[in-house]
Amino acid sequence: MKIRNGRLSALAALALAASMALTACGSDSEGGSDSGDGGGGAAAITMLPKNLGNPYFDTSTAGAEKAADEFGGSIDEVGPDAASPDAQVPFINTAAQQGVDALIVSANDPEALCDALDEASSAGVKVVTFDSDTNPECRDLYINQATAEGIAKSQVDLIAEQIGDAGEIAILSAAANATNQNAWIEMMETELEANHPDIELVDTVYGDDDDQTSFDKTAALLQSHPNLKGIISPTTVGIAAAARYLSTSEYKGNVALTGLGTPNQMRDYVKDGTVEAFALWNPGDLGYLAAFAAQALVDGDISGEEGDTFEAGDLGEFTVGADGVVLLGEPFVFNADNIDDFDF
C-alpha cells in the first residue's frame, strides 16, 4: 500500500486509525506477553523509505514484506515523493498516532527526524533505522548494510578471483576528497598488502563521479599501463562509465572490472561479458533483516542493547553491536547467474 499525497494520506490515516482501534479491541496487539516466533505477535510495522517510487527502496520493502509474511506481521509502506530532510516528519507523526508497533525508517537527515521519532518512541513505537541512520539516541536499532572493511575486502577478493590473484590493478574512484572512497581505498591497500602479495596497485585515479572524466581516466589507465589486469571502481558512476568504455574497447575481456554498482546499470555489461561480477549490498535482505529486528523489538526478545541476539529467518542469527547497530554482513555479489533476480 502506497500513500502519495497529503490529503490522501490523511484520509488513509483516519481509516487506518479506525481499523487499528477496532483490531486492538479484538486481538492481541500487546506483543510483549507472548515472546518468540509464531503467529502470536502479529506486529504492525510501518515502513518509511526516503522516498517512494525508488527501485532501491521498492526492493527493500519487498524484502520486509517477505519477512512479515514469515512471522505473520503486516507492513505498510508510506513515504514522501521526494527525499527532502523534513518530508518524513508527518509520516512519523501519523504512524505514532496510529499506534503501530514499529517504524522502519531510512532517514533523509540524521537530525531533522529526531523530535518526531522521540515522540513516537514515547508513544510505544519501536524505531528501527536502515540504509541511512539518524543520531543513535533517536532510534532503537540501526541496520547497517555494510562496513568499510567489508566493502574493501569484497572488492579485493572479487578482483583477485577475476585476475588469478596476480598482476597489476588500478582504482577508479570518485572525487579525490570523498571521505568514504578514501577510507575504502586505504583499507583495500592494507588488504592487498596483507593477503595478496602478487597483486600490485599501480595507480589510483579520480573520475569525479562524472561520465566524461571517468571515461577519460579509464582510457588513460588502459593506455598508460599496458600490463593492467583489472580495475576496481567503488563508485556507481565510475563503474558504469568504465564498463561502458571497456565494453566498446579493444581491451574488453582482457582487463577485468569490478566495484560497487547496481544491477540495473550493470546488467548489459554483465551479459555482454565486460564485467564478471560486482558487489553491493542487497536491499531486499536489508529490508528483510530490518523487519525481523523490528519484530524482535516488539516481541521484547531484544531491547537494542549491545550483545542482544535475534533470529532473522533465512539470514540466520544476528547480534546487536555497539550503539545499537546490526550489520547485514558482507556485500552481496552480483553476477550473470543472479542479476536478473534484481530490479533496482
Partner 1 sequence: MSDTLLVEPSAVSPTQRVVGGLLRSREIAVGAVLVLVVVLTTIKNPNFLFSSDGWRDLLLSPSLLLLLAVGQTVVIITRNVDLSVGSILGLTAYFTGKLFVDHPGLPIWVVFLAGTAMGALLGLVNGALVAFGKVPALVITLGTLYIYRGIFLSWAGSDRINAGDMPSDFLALGTKTILTIPVLTIIGFVVLAAVGYYLYTARGGRELYAIGSDPDAAVLYGLPTRTRVLSAFVLCGALAGLAGVVYAARYGTVSSGAGYGMELQAVGAAVIGGVAIFGGSGTVWGAAIGAFLLVTINRALPVVGISDFWQRAVVGALIIAAIVLDRVFSAREERRLVAARDEMRKS
Shortest separation between residue 202's beta carbon and partner 1, angstroms:
12
Shortest separation between residue 97's beta carbon and partner 1, angstroms:
28
Select 70 or 268, whichever has its Cβ closest to partner 1: 268
Give the distance, in angstroms, between the CA of residue 331 and the centroid of all CA atoms in the same chain. 9
Select 190 or 264, whichever has its Cβ closest to partner 1: 264
Residues 6+ apart with CB under 8 A from 112: 85, 86, 89
Select 83 or 326, whichever has its Cβ closest to partner 1: 83
Shortest separation between residue 21's beta carbon and partner 1, angstroms:
36
Shortest separation between residue 117's beta carbon and partner 1, angstroms:
23
205 has which bridge partners? 172
Contacting positions for partner 1 (CB under 8 A): 51, 53-56, 82-83, 176, 205-206, 209-213, 215-217, 219-224, 226, 237, 240-241, 244, 248-251, 264-265, 267-269
Shortest separation between residue 315's beta carbon and partner 1, angstroms:
26
Shortest separation between residue 289's beta carbon and partner 1, angstroms:
22
**Rounded distance between C-alpha atoms, residue 332 and residue 335, angstroms:** 10
**Over the range 241-256, which residues count as b (16 or more CB within 10 Å of their CB) and which as e?**
bbbbbbbebebbeebb
Select 54 or 181, whichever has its Cβ closest to partner 1: 54
Select 52 or 160, whichever has its Cβ closest to partner 1: 52
Contacts of 296-300 spanning 24+ positions with Cβ under 8 A: 297/102, 297/126, 297/128, 297/140, 297/141, 298/31, 298/32, 298/41, 298/43, 298/45, 298/101, 298/102, 298/126, 299/31, 299/32, 299/34, 299/35, 299/36, 299/41, 299/43, 300/31, 300/32, 300/35
Select 73 or 263, whichever has its Cβ closest to partner 1: 263
CB count in 10 Å sphere of residue 180: 12
199 has which bridge partners? 167
Select 97 or 249, whichever has its Cβ closest to partner 1: 249
What Rg, from alpha-carbon coordinates, does the chain have? 22
Shortest separation between residue 54's beta carbon and partner 1, angstroms:
6
Give the distance, in angstroms, between the CA of residue 121 and the centroid of all CA atoms in the same chain. 24
